[in-house]
Structure 1
Amino acid sequence: MLYRVEGIVIRSMDYGEGNKIVTLLTNNSGKVGVLIKGAKKVKSRYGSLAQPFTYGEFVFFRGPNGGLGNLNAGEIYDSYHTLREHLDQAAYASYVAELTDRALQDEEAGGFLFEQLKACLSGYVAGKDAQIVTHLYEMRILEASGYAPELDFCVNCGQEEGPFRVSPHMGGALCIRCSASDPGALRPGDTAYKLLRLFRRMDLRRLGDIQVKPETKAELKLAMRRMMDELLGLKLKSQTFLDQLDKLT
Protein backbone atom coordinates (compact mmCIF):
# COMPACT_ATOMS: atom_id res chain seq x y z
CA MET A 1 0.00 0.00 0.00
CA LEU A 2 1.22 3.50 -0.85
CA TYR A 3 1.33 6.07 1.95
CA ARG A 4 1.80 9.82 1.60
CA VAL A 5 2.47 11.60 4.88
CA GLU A 6 3.99 14.71 6.35
CA GLY A 7 6.69 13.61 8.76
CA ILE A 8 9.52 14.74 11.00
CA VAL A 9 12.62 12.57 11.35
CA ILE A 10 13.01 11.72 15.03
CA ARG A 11 15.61 8.97 14.56
CA SER A 12 18.02 8.05 11.76
CA MET A 13 20.25 4.98 11.72
CA ASP A 14 22.55 3.31 9.21
CA TYR A 15 21.37 0.11 7.58
CA GLY A 16 23.71 -1.92 5.43
CA GLU A 17 26.41 -0.30 3.35
CA GLY A 18 24.54 2.63 1.89
CA ASN A 19 21.05 2.78 3.39
CA LYS A 20 19.34 4.44 6.30
CA ILE A 21 16.24 3.68 8.31
CA VAL A 22 14.40 6.71 9.65
CA THR A 23 11.68 6.85 12.27
CA LEU A 24 9.10 9.50 11.47
CA LEU A 25 6.52 11.23 13.59
CA THR A 26 3.76 11.77 11.05
CA ASN A 27 0.67 13.91 10.76
CA ASN A 28 -1.76 11.02 10.24
CA SER A 29 -0.03 7.65 10.68
CA GLY A 30 1.61 7.87 14.10
CA LYS A 31 5.23 6.76 14.25
CA VAL A 32 6.51 4.85 11.22
CA GLY A 33 9.84 3.40 10.13
CA VAL A 34 10.95 3.98 6.55
CA LEU A 35 13.94 2.54 4.67
CA ILE A 36 15.71 5.08 2.44
CA LYS A 37 17.88 3.10 0.06
CA GLY A 38 21.18 4.67 -0.92
CA ALA A 39 20.74 7.52 1.56
CA LYS A 40 24.42 7.39 2.62
CA LYS A 41 25.73 7.78 -0.92
CA VAL A 42 27.13 11.18 -1.89
CA LYS A 43 24.85 11.57 -4.90
CA SER A 44 21.76 10.16 -3.18
CA ARG A 45 18.56 11.77 -4.35
CA TYR A 46 16.90 11.40 -0.95
CA GLY A 47 19.87 11.42 1.41
CA SER A 48 18.86 14.79 2.87
CA LEU A 49 15.48 13.33 3.86
CA ALA A 50 17.30 11.07 6.31
CA GLN A 51 18.80 13.95 8.31
CA PRO A 52 17.57 14.30 11.91
CA PHE A 53 14.75 16.83 12.49
CA THR A 54 13.96 17.10 8.75
CA TYR A 55 10.32 17.97 8.09
CA GLY A 56 8.87 17.00 4.74
CA GLU A 57 6.59 14.81 2.67
CA PHE A 58 7.39 11.11 2.55
CA VAL A 59 5.82 8.74 0.04
CA PHE A 60 6.47 5.07 0.79
CA PHE A 61 5.21 1.56 0.22
CA ARG A 62 4.29 -0.63 3.18
CA GLY A 63 2.70 -4.04 3.36
CA PRO A 64 -0.88 -4.64 4.60
CA ASN A 65 0.45 -5.88 7.94
CA GLY A 66 2.48 -2.75 8.62
CA GLY A 67 6.18 -2.98 9.30
CA LEU A 68 8.99 -1.07 7.67
CA GLY A 69 8.14 1.12 4.68
CA ASN A 70 10.27 1.68 1.59
CA LEU A 71 10.65 5.27 0.42
CA ASN A 72 9.36 5.92 -3.08
CA ALA A 73 9.54 9.73 -3.20
CA GLY A 74 9.88 12.69 -0.91
CA GLU A 75 10.19 16.44 -0.58
CA ILE A 76 11.75 18.58 2.14
CA TYR A 77 9.55 21.32 3.56
CA ASP A 78 12.00 22.50 6.22
CA SER A 79 15.39 20.93 6.86
CA TYR A 80 15.82 22.68 10.23
CA HIS A 81 19.51 22.66 9.34
CA THR A 82 20.40 25.29 11.95
CA LEU A 83 19.42 22.81 14.65
CA ARG A 84 22.29 20.62 13.52
CA GLU A 85 24.75 23.52 13.29
CA HIS A 86 24.48 24.96 16.81
CA LEU A 87 25.45 22.76 19.73
CA ASP A 88 22.84 24.01 22.18
CA GLN A 89 19.98 23.80 19.68
CA ALA A 90 21.15 20.37 18.53
CA ALA A 91 21.17 19.17 22.15
CA TYR A 92 17.60 20.28 22.82
CA ALA A 93 16.31 19.03 19.46
CA SER A 94 18.00 15.66 19.98
CA TYR A 95 16.38 15.40 23.39
CA VAL A 96 12.81 16.05 22.22
CA ALA A 97 13.31 13.73 19.24
CA GLU A 98 14.59 10.86 21.42
CA LEU A 99 11.89 11.55 24.00
CA THR A 100 9.21 11.32 21.31
CA ASP A 101 10.64 8.08 19.96
CA ARG A 102 11.07 6.40 23.35
CA ALA A 103 8.02 7.63 25.25
CA LEU A 104 5.24 6.91 22.78
CA GLN A 105 3.73 3.89 21.14
CA ASP A 106 2.61 4.33 17.54
CA GLU A 107 -1.06 4.75 18.42
CA GLU A 108 -0.26 7.49 20.97
CA ALA A 109 1.52 9.68 18.42
CA GLY A 110 -1.35 11.57 16.82
CA GLY A 111 -1.59 14.59 14.55
CA PHE A 112 -1.74 17.07 17.42
CA LEU A 113 1.60 15.89 18.80
CA PHE A 114 3.08 16.15 15.31
CA GLU A 115 2.06 19.81 15.23
CA GLN A 116 3.49 20.33 18.71
CA LEU A 117 6.86 18.85 17.73
CA LYS A 118 6.97 21.02 14.64
CA ALA A 119 6.20 24.09 16.77
CA CYS A 120 8.87 23.02 19.26
CA LEU A 121 11.59 22.79 16.60
CA SER A 122 10.45 26.07 15.04
CA GLY A 123 10.62 27.69 18.47
CA TYR A 124 14.26 26.67 18.85
CA VAL A 125 15.09 28.08 15.41
CA ALA A 126 13.26 31.33 16.21
CA GLY A 127 15.42 31.85 19.29
CA LYS A 128 12.71 31.34 21.89
CA ASP A 129 13.83 30.23 25.34
CA ALA A 130 14.81 26.62 24.66
CA GLN A 131 14.21 25.47 28.23
CA ILE A 132 10.67 26.86 28.29
CA VAL A 133 9.88 25.45 24.84
CA THR A 134 11.17 22.05 25.97
CA HIS A 135 9.08 22.02 29.16
CA LEU A 136 5.96 22.79 27.14
CA TYR A 137 6.72 19.89 24.83
CA GLU A 138 7.45 17.59 27.78
CA MET A 139 3.96 18.34 29.07
CA ARG A 140 2.53 17.35 25.69
CA ILE A 141 4.46 14.08 25.86
CA LEU A 142 3.12 13.37 29.35
CA GLU A 143 -0.37 14.12 28.11
CA ALA A 144 -0.05 11.90 25.03
CA SER A 145 1.32 9.01 27.08
CA GLY A 146 -1.50 9.27 29.63
CA TYR A 147 0.53 10.69 32.54
CA ALA A 148 -0.35 14.39 32.47
CA PRO A 149 -0.15 15.81 36.00
CA GLU A 150 -3.25 17.27 37.66
CA LEU A 151 -2.36 20.76 38.83
CA ASP A 152 -5.76 22.46 39.24
CA PHE A 153 -6.72 20.74 42.49
CA CYS A 154 -5.30 18.45 45.14
CA VAL A 155 -5.07 14.91 43.79
CA ASN A 156 -5.66 13.53 47.30
CA CYS A 157 -8.72 15.43 48.55
CA GLY A 158 -9.90 17.58 45.63
CA GLN A 159 -9.20 20.89 47.35
CA GLU A 160 -9.13 23.70 44.75
CA GLU A 161 -7.62 26.43 46.90
CA GLY A 162 -3.82 26.71 47.12
CA PRO A 163 -1.09 27.02 47.95
CA PHE A 164 -0.08 23.68 46.49
CA ARG A 165 2.97 21.51 46.44
CA VAL A 166 3.87 19.33 43.47
CA SER A 167 4.06 15.58 43.99
CA PRO A 168 5.51 13.77 40.95
CA HIS A 169 4.97 10.48 42.82
CA MET A 170 1.22 11.11 43.17
CA GLY A 171 0.85 12.70 39.77
CA GLY A 172 0.03 16.29 40.59
CA ALA A 173 -0.80 18.88 43.22
CA LEU A 174 -1.12 18.39 46.95
CA CYS A 175 -2.69 20.95 49.25
CA ILE A 176 -0.90 21.84 52.46
CA ARG A 177 -3.17 19.60 54.51
CA CYS A 178 -2.39 16.56 52.34
CA SER A 179 1.28 17.29 51.74
CA ALA A 180 2.27 14.94 54.60
CA SER A 181 1.28 12.04 52.34
CA ASP A 182 4.39 12.77 50.25
CA PRO A 183 7.28 14.27 52.23
CA GLY A 184 9.24 14.53 48.98
CA ALA A 185 6.72 16.87 47.33
CA LEU A 186 8.25 19.98 45.79
CA ARG A 187 7.50 23.54 46.90
CA PRO A 188 7.75 25.76 43.81
CA GLY A 189 7.13 29.48 44.17
CA ASP A 190 3.86 31.04 43.02
CA THR A 191 5.26 32.10 39.65
CA ALA A 192 6.74 28.68 38.90
CA TYR A 193 3.51 26.93 39.88
CA LYS A 194 1.41 29.24 37.70
CA LEU A 195 3.72 28.51 34.78
CA LEU A 196 3.44 24.76 35.35
CA ARG A 197 -0.33 25.08 35.19
CA LEU A 198 0.00 27.13 32.03
CA PHE A 199 2.31 24.54 30.47
CA ARG A 200 -0.24 21.86 31.29
CA ARG A 201 -2.84 23.28 28.91
CA MET A 202 -0.99 25.55 26.46
CA ASP A 203 -0.66 24.83 22.76
CA LEU A 204 2.98 25.31 21.72
CA ARG A 205 1.85 27.02 18.54
CA ARG A 206 0.55 29.90 20.68
CA LEU A 207 3.80 30.54 22.53
CA GLY A 208 5.10 34.05 22.06
CA ASP A 209 8.19 35.64 23.53
CA ILE A 210 8.50 34.86 27.22
CA GLN A 211 11.08 35.88 29.80
CA VAL A 212 11.44 33.91 33.01
CA LYS A 213 13.75 34.73 35.89
CA PRO A 214 16.66 32.32 36.43
CA GLU A 215 15.43 31.25 39.86
CA THR A 216 11.99 30.45 38.45
CA LYS A 217 13.54 28.50 35.58
CA ALA A 218 15.51 26.47 38.11
CA GLU A 219 12.29 25.58 39.94
CA LEU A 220 10.59 24.65 36.67
CA LYS A 221 13.50 22.47 35.61
CA LEU A 222 13.49 20.59 38.92
CA ALA A 223 9.74 20.03 38.83
CA MET A 224 9.67 18.88 35.21
CA ARG A 225 12.68 16.59 35.64
CA ARG A 226 11.13 14.96 38.69
CA MET A 227 7.84 14.46 36.86
CA MET A 228 9.49 13.06 33.75
CA ASP A 229 11.64 10.69 35.81
CA GLU A 230 8.79 9.57 38.06
CA LEU A 231 6.05 9.24 35.47
CA LEU A 232 8.00 7.98 32.45
CA GLY A 233 11.22 6.64 33.95
CA LEU A 234 13.26 6.88 30.74
CA LYS A 235 17.03 6.98 30.59
CA LEU A 236 17.89 9.08 27.54
CA LYS A 237 21.38 9.58 26.16
CA SER A 238 20.39 13.02 24.90
CA GLN A 239 19.28 14.04 28.39
CA THR A 240 22.70 13.17 29.81
CA PHE A 241 24.40 15.28 27.16
CA LEU A 242 21.98 18.16 27.75
CA ASP A 243 22.79 18.06 31.46
CA GLN A 244 26.50 18.18 30.73
CA LEU A 245 25.98 21.13 28.39
CA ASP A 246 23.99 23.00 31.03
CA LYS A 247 26.89 22.71 33.46
CA LEU A 248 29.16 24.48 30.98
CA THR A 249 26.81 27.44 30.42
Structure 2
Amino acid sequence: MPLMPSLYLSHGSPMTALQPGAVGARLAELAAALPRPRAIVVASAHWLAPAPRVSAAPVPETLHDFTGFPDALYRLHYPAPGAPALAEEVAAHLAAAGLPATLDPQRGLDHGAWVPLRYLYPRADVPVLQLSIQPRLGPVHQFALGRALAPLRARGVLVIGSGSLTHNLHEQRGYPPGAEAPYVRPFTGWVEARLAADDLPALFDYRRQAPFAAQAHPTDEHLLPLYVAMGAVGSERLGARRIEAGIELGFLAMDLYRFDGAA
Protein backbone atom coordinates (compact mmCIF):
# COMPACT_ATOMS: atom_id res chain seq x y z
CA MET A 1 0.00 0.00 0.00
CA PRO A 2 1.49 3.41 -0.91
CA LEU A 3 2.59 5.70 1.91
CA MET A 4 0.07 8.50 2.34
CA PRO A 5 1.11 12.10 2.92
CA SER A 6 -0.56 14.18 5.58
CA LEU A 7 -2.39 17.41 4.75
CA TYR A 8 -3.23 20.77 6.23
CA LEU A 9 -6.29 22.33 4.60
CA SER A 10 -7.63 25.85 4.93
CA HIS A 11 -11.37 25.25 4.77
CA GLY A 12 -12.50 28.88 4.71
CA SER A 13 -16.05 30.03 5.32
CA PRO A 14 -18.89 27.50 5.25
CA MET A 15 -19.86 29.23 1.98
CA THR A 16 -16.90 27.45 0.37
CA ALA A 17 -19.29 24.50 0.09
CA LEU A 18 -21.37 26.54 -2.38
CA GLN A 19 -18.67 28.81 -3.79
CA PRO A 20 -15.53 26.69 -4.18
CA GLY A 21 -13.30 29.38 -5.62
CA ALA A 22 -9.61 28.63 -6.02
CA VAL A 23 -9.47 26.30 -3.04
CA GLY A 24 -12.08 23.94 -4.52
CA ALA A 25 -10.01 23.57 -7.68
CA ARG A 26 -6.79 23.04 -5.71
CA LEU A 27 -8.45 20.37 -3.55
CA ALA A 28 -9.71 18.49 -6.62
CA GLU A 29 -6.22 18.62 -8.13
CA LEU A 30 -4.70 17.43 -4.88
CA ALA A 31 -7.06 14.46 -4.68
CA ALA A 32 -6.14 13.45 -8.24
CA ALA A 33 -2.45 13.47 -7.26
CA LEU A 34 -2.88 11.40 -4.09
CA PRO A 35 -3.09 7.63 -3.68
CA ARG A 36 -6.66 6.75 -2.83
CA PRO A 37 -6.94 6.44 0.97
CA ARG A 38 -8.71 3.59 2.66
CA ALA A 39 -9.91 6.01 5.36
CA ILE A 40 -9.48 9.59 6.54
CA VAL A 41 -8.82 11.10 9.98
CA VAL A 42 -9.63 14.82 10.23
CA ALA A 43 -8.46 17.01 13.11
CA SER A 44 -10.79 19.99 12.77
CA ALA A 45 -10.62 23.48 14.26
CA HIS A 46 -14.34 23.09 14.97
CA TRP A 47 -14.08 20.23 17.44
CA LEU A 48 -12.49 21.53 20.61
CA ALA A 49 -12.24 19.43 23.75
CA PRO A 50 -10.11 19.49 26.90
CA ALA A 51 -8.78 15.98 26.11
CA PRO A 52 -8.58 13.96 22.88
CA ARG A 53 -11.84 12.58 21.53
CA VAL A 54 -12.28 10.35 18.49
CA SER A 55 -15.54 10.07 16.57
CA ALA A 56 -16.80 6.51 16.17
CA ALA A 57 -20.20 6.95 14.54
CA PRO A 58 -20.87 4.26 11.90
CA VAL A 59 -22.80 6.81 9.80
CA PRO A 60 -21.69 10.30 10.85
CA GLU A 61 -24.24 13.08 10.58
CA THR A 62 -23.41 16.17 8.51
CA LEU A 63 -23.23 18.95 11.11
CA HIS A 64 -24.32 22.42 10.04
CA ASP A 65 -22.41 24.05 12.85
CA PHE A 66 -23.00 27.65 11.80
CA THR A 67 -25.83 30.16 11.63
CA GLY A 68 -26.98 32.96 9.36
CA PHE A 69 -26.15 31.38 6.00
CA PRO A 70 -28.38 30.69 2.95
CA ASP A 71 -30.87 27.83 3.18
CA ALA A 72 -29.08 26.01 0.35
CA LEU A 73 -26.08 25.47 2.62
CA TYR A 74 -28.18 23.68 5.24
CA ARG A 75 -29.53 21.32 2.59
CA LEU A 76 -26.06 20.02 1.76
CA HIS A 77 -25.01 16.67 3.20
CA TYR A 78 -21.83 14.66 3.01
CA PRO A 79 -22.95 11.03 3.55
CA ALA A 80 -19.54 9.40 3.99
CA PRO A 81 -19.41 6.24 6.08
CA GLY A 82 -17.75 6.32 9.46
CA ALA A 83 -14.90 4.10 10.59
CA PRO A 84 -15.62 2.71 14.09
CA ALA A 85 -12.89 0.05 13.90
CA LEU A 86 -10.32 2.63 12.83
CA ALA A 87 -11.53 4.91 15.65
CA GLU A 88 -10.57 2.22 18.14
CA GLU A 89 -7.18 1.88 16.45
CA VAL A 90 -6.64 5.65 16.58
CA ALA A 91 -7.52 5.67 20.28
CA ALA A 92 -5.06 2.80 20.87
CA HIS A 93 -2.24 4.68 19.13
CA LEU A 94 -2.98 7.78 21.19
CA ALA A 95 -3.08 5.81 24.43
CA ALA A 96 0.26 4.17 23.61
CA ALA A 97 1.72 7.67 23.23
CA GLY A 98 0.39 8.72 26.64
CA LEU A 99 -2.53 10.62 25.12
CA PRO A 100 -5.62 8.71 26.23
CA ALA A 101 -8.68 9.45 24.12
CA THR A 102 -12.41 8.92 24.49
CA LEU A 103 -14.50 7.42 21.70
CA ASP A 104 -17.58 9.45 20.78
CA PRO A 105 -20.19 7.27 19.02
CA GLN A 106 -22.47 10.25 18.26
CA ARG A 107 -20.15 12.90 16.83
CA GLY A 108 -20.84 13.86 13.22
CA LEU A 109 -18.72 15.70 10.65
CA ASP A 110 -18.43 19.43 11.24
CA HIS A 111 -17.88 21.86 8.38
CA GLY A 112 -14.12 21.82 8.95
CA ALA A 113 -14.30 18.22 7.71
CA TRP A 114 -17.12 17.98 5.19
CA VAL A 115 -16.62 21.27 3.35
CA PRO A 116 -13.11 20.44 2.04
CA LEU A 117 -13.97 16.75 1.64
CA ARG A 118 -16.73 17.76 -0.81
CA TYR A 119 -13.93 18.73 -3.21
CA LEU A 120 -11.36 16.10 -2.29
CA TYR A 121 -13.75 13.14 -2.47
CA PRO A 122 -17.10 14.37 -3.83
CA ARG A 123 -18.60 10.89 -3.95
CA ALA A 124 -18.34 10.67 -0.15
CA ASP A 125 -17.21 7.07 -0.50
CA VAL A 126 -14.11 7.13 1.75
CA PRO A 127 -14.73 6.39 5.47
CA VAL A 128 -14.11 9.41 7.69
CA LEU A 129 -13.64 9.99 11.38
CA GLN A 130 -12.71 13.10 13.35
CA LEU A 131 -10.18 13.86 16.06
CA SER A 132 -10.67 16.77 18.45
CA ILE A 133 -7.98 19.31 19.20
CA GLN A 134 -7.10 20.77 22.59
CA PRO A 135 -6.49 24.51 22.17
CA ARG A 136 -5.32 25.11 25.73
CA LEU A 137 -2.48 22.61 25.28
CA GLY A 138 -0.82 24.37 22.36
CA PRO A 139 1.19 23.38 19.28
CA VAL A 140 3.51 20.81 20.87
CA HIS A 141 0.56 18.79 22.11
CA GLN A 142 -1.16 18.80 18.72
CA PHE A 143 2.13 17.75 17.10
CA ALA A 144 2.26 14.81 19.54
CA LEU A 145 -1.27 13.81 18.54
CA GLY A 146 -0.22 13.70 14.89
CA ARG A 147 3.04 11.87 15.69
CA ALA A 148 1.05 9.13 17.44
CA LEU A 149 -0.94 8.59 14.23
CA ALA A 150 2.08 8.52 11.90
CA PRO A 151 2.08 4.69 11.56
CA LEU A 152 -1.36 4.87 9.96
CA ARG A 153 0.09 6.55 6.86
CA ALA A 154 1.66 3.24 5.79
CA ARG A 155 -1.75 1.59 6.09
CA GLY A 156 -3.53 3.89 3.67
CA VAL A 157 -4.96 6.37 6.18
CA LEU A 158 -4.95 10.04 5.21
CA VAL A 159 -4.44 12.33 8.21
CA ILE A 160 -5.79 15.85 7.66
CA GLY A 161 -5.60 18.96 9.80
CA SER A 162 -8.36 21.40 8.82
CA GLY A 163 -8.28 25.04 9.85
CA SER A 164 -7.21 28.28 8.17
CA LEU A 165 -3.72 29.64 7.71
CA THR A 166 -4.99 33.03 8.88
CA HIS A 167 -8.23 33.44 10.80
CA ASN A 168 -9.32 36.71 12.36
CA LEU A 169 -13.11 37.03 12.29
CA HIS A 170 -12.87 40.54 13.74
CA GLU A 171 -11.86 41.49 10.19
CA GLN A 172 -15.14 40.31 8.61
CA ARG A 173 -16.59 42.84 6.15
CA GLY A 174 -13.55 45.01 6.69
CA TYR A 175 -11.96 44.77 3.23
CA PRO A 176 -13.40 45.72 -0.16
CA PRO A 177 -12.94 43.36 -3.13
CA GLY A 178 -9.29 43.10 -4.10
CA ALA A 179 -7.98 44.48 -0.79
CA GLU A 180 -6.04 42.42 1.75
CA ALA A 181 -5.25 42.66 5.43
CA PRO A 182 -1.64 43.87 5.68
CA TYR A 183 -0.62 41.07 8.04
CA VAL A 184 -1.70 38.11 5.89
CA ARG A 185 1.24 37.77 3.50
CA PRO A 186 4.00 38.45 6.06
CA PHE A 187 2.51 35.79 8.34
CA THR A 188 1.94 33.16 5.65
CA GLY A 189 5.38 33.82 4.16
CA TRP A 190 6.97 33.22 7.55
CA VAL A 191 5.08 29.94 7.97
CA GLU A 192 6.11 28.78 4.50
CA ALA A 193 9.78 29.56 5.15
CA ARG A 194 9.83 27.85 8.55
CA LEU A 195 8.08 24.75 7.19
CA ALA A 196 10.52 24.55 4.28
CA ALA A 197 13.40 24.73 6.78
CA ASP A 198 11.87 22.06 9.06
CA ASP A 199 12.22 24.63 11.84
CA LEU A 200 10.02 22.98 14.43
CA PRO A 201 11.19 25.11 17.41
CA ALA A 202 10.24 28.32 15.62
CA LEU A 203 6.91 26.91 14.48
CA PHE A 204 6.06 25.77 18.00
CA ASP A 205 6.92 29.30 19.19
CA TYR A 206 5.00 31.06 16.41
CA ARG A 207 3.17 33.31 18.89
CA ARG A 208 6.45 35.10 19.70
CA GLN A 209 8.39 34.64 16.46
CA ALA A 210 5.94 34.98 13.56
CA PRO A 211 5.17 38.48 12.29
CA PHE A 212 1.64 39.65 13.12
CA ALA A 213 0.81 36.38 14.87
CA ALA A 214 -1.81 37.99 17.12
CA GLN A 215 -3.55 39.59 14.13
CA ALA A 216 -3.42 36.44 12.02
CA HIS A 217 -4.72 34.26 14.87
CA PRO A 218 -6.32 36.04 17.83
CA THR A 219 -7.01 32.50 19.05
CA ASP A 220 -5.10 29.36 18.10
CA GLU A 221 -7.72 26.84 17.06
CA HIS A 222 -7.51 27.34 13.28
CA LEU A 223 -3.72 26.99 13.18
CA LEU A 224 -3.40 24.08 15.62
CA PRO A 225 -4.55 21.44 13.07
CA LEU A 226 -1.40 22.33 11.10
CA TYR A 227 0.65 20.77 13.88
CA VAL A 228 -1.36 17.55 13.76
CA ALA A 229 -0.55 17.26 10.04
CA MET A 230 3.12 18.05 10.73
CA GLY A 231 3.34 15.43 13.45
CA ALA A 232 1.72 12.76 11.30
CA VAL A 233 4.81 12.83 9.05
CA GLY A 234 6.57 10.86 11.79
CA SER A 235 10.00 12.47 11.33
CA GLU A 236 11.81 15.75 11.82
CA ARG A 237 11.87 16.22 8.04
CA LEU A 238 8.48 17.53 7.01
CA GLY A 239 8.75 17.51 3.23
CA ALA A 240 6.31 20.44 3.18
CA ARG A 241 4.79 21.57 -0.10
CA ARG A 242 2.65 24.70 -0.20
CA ILE A 243 -0.36 24.80 -2.54
CA GLU A 244 -1.43 28.40 -3.03
CA ALA A 245 -5.21 28.96 -3.03
CA GLY A 246 -5.59 32.69 -2.65
CA ILE A 247 -6.94 34.99 0.06
CA GLU A 248 -10.67 35.13 0.68
CA LEU A 249 -12.54 38.15 2.08
CA GLY A 250 -9.21 39.95 2.40
CA PHE A 251 -8.19 38.14 5.59
CA LEU A 252 -8.55 34.35 5.13
CA ALA A 253 -5.40 32.83 3.64
CA MET A 254 -6.53 29.63 1.92
CA ASP A 255 -3.14 27.93 1.46
CA LEU A 256 -2.98 24.15 1.62
CA TYR A 257 0.04 22.09 2.68
CA ARG A 258 1.07 18.58 1.77
CA PHE A 259 3.62 16.81 3.98
CA ASP A 260 5.56 13.84 2.61
CA GLY A 261 8.34 13.66 5.17
CA ALA A 262 11.66 12.32 3.93
CA ALA A 263 10.01 10.39 1.07
For Structure 1 versus Structure 2, the TM-score category normalised by the shorter chain is under 0.3
User: What is the TM-score of this pair, normalised by structure 2?
Assistant: 0.27
Which structure carries more relative contact order (alpha carbon 8 Å, separation 6+)?
2
Looking at secondary structure, tell me which structure has more helix per residue. Answer: 1
Looking at secondary structure, tell me which structure has more strand per residue. Answer: 1
Bigger radius of gyration: 1
User: What is the TM-score of this pair, normalised by structure 1?
Assistant: 0.28
